[in-house]
Amino acid sequence: MKFIFVTLFPNLIKPYFEDSIMKRAIENSFFEIEFINFREYSTNKHKKVDDTPFGGGAGMVLSCDPLYNCLTDLKIKYPNSKTIFVTPVAKTFNQKDAKRLSNEKTIIFVNGRYEGFDERLIEEFADEVLAIGDYILSGGELASTVMADAIARNIDGVLGNNESLEVESFENELLEAPTFTKPKNYTKIKNSNVISEFFKGNHSIIATLKENLAQAKTKYHRPDIYKKYQVRKKYEK
């Protein structure tokens, strides 16, 4: 699999892939990354990539020509690629999207800046338009890095142990159950004994316990998700 980041600021993204899980995955050829600075496709003397918005308003808008030239080249080179425009004016990316997109061969993340894209670029090139939340960032680079990480984790072999994916948050519409490690009783925190059932080896009881803890955690932190979970369980009966 290949992630292509179309951005004015490649150095905002590169360091993330130079450590830990993502670095090892690239070294082991589970996926690769490429950076394209679309300023290089600007045809004006000063390599400008933005202009004032029609209708007035603050800020500058990314011009059509540099991105059009860049994305046209990429579509010729990668005809079966998936082009994703990263913008807050979009559907919110979630775990189902991460799993679905992990089956793609090539994903092109188009990262905006300033006041965003000329809308005609989105209409011409976008296969999908995605955001990571209801807030505004200075550009799309952080958001596309988040999405690439979430997608890459679902590529077979990236995590080493694929069973890790089965118990993570948002699987089966629940947040992940609380986890604990040694010591059983951490004396610096009052009443910190880990629930004894975790040590008794009865996997059926442990599974039920984790399910109940996951429900409680989801109900407290994400009541919106918990309601969906309740509806699904109701129809399964």
Residue 11 has pLDDT above 90, yes or no: yes
Mean pLDDT of 80-106: 96
Mean pLDDT of 4-18: 98
**Distance between CA atoms of residues 36 and 81, nearest Å:** 15
Q: Return the DSSP state at 55.
A: T
Nearest alpha carbon to residue 17 among 4, 26, 7: 26
Mean pLDDT of 138-166: 88
Secondary structure (DSSP) of 181-236: -S-SB-TTSTT-BPPGGGGS--HHHHHHHHHHHHHHHHHHH-HHHHHHHHHHHHHH
Confidence of residue 69 (pLDDT cuts 50, 70, 90): very high
How, if at all, do strands 61-62 and 50-51 pair?
antiparallel
User: Sheet of 32-36: strands edge to edge?
Assistant: 32-36, 2-6, 106-111, 82-92, 128-131
Q: Report pLDDT digits (tens) over 221-232.
A: 999 999 988 988
The predicted structure's pLDDT at residue 56: 79
Nearest alpha carbon to residue 64 among 75, 48, 79: 48
The predicted structure's pLDDT at residue 127: 98
Of residues 167 and 135, more confidently modeled: 135
Mean pLDDT of 131-160: 95
Confidence of residue 164 (pLDDT cuts 50, 70, 90): low
33 within 8 A of 2, measured Cβ to Cβ: yes
Confidence of residue 234 (pLDDT cuts 50, 70, 90): confident
Confidence of residue 169 (pLDDT cuts 50, 70, 90): low
Helix (H) or strand (E) holding 175: none
Mean pLDDT of 29-55: 93
**Distance between CA atoms of residues 23 and 30, nearest Å:** 10
Alpha helices in the chain (DSSP H): 20-27, 64-77, 95-101, 119-125, 141-152, 203-221, 223-236
Confidence of residue 22 (pLDDT cuts 50, 70, 90): very high
4 within 8 A of 81, measured Cβ to Cβ: yes
86 within 8 A of 92, measured Cβ to Cβ: no
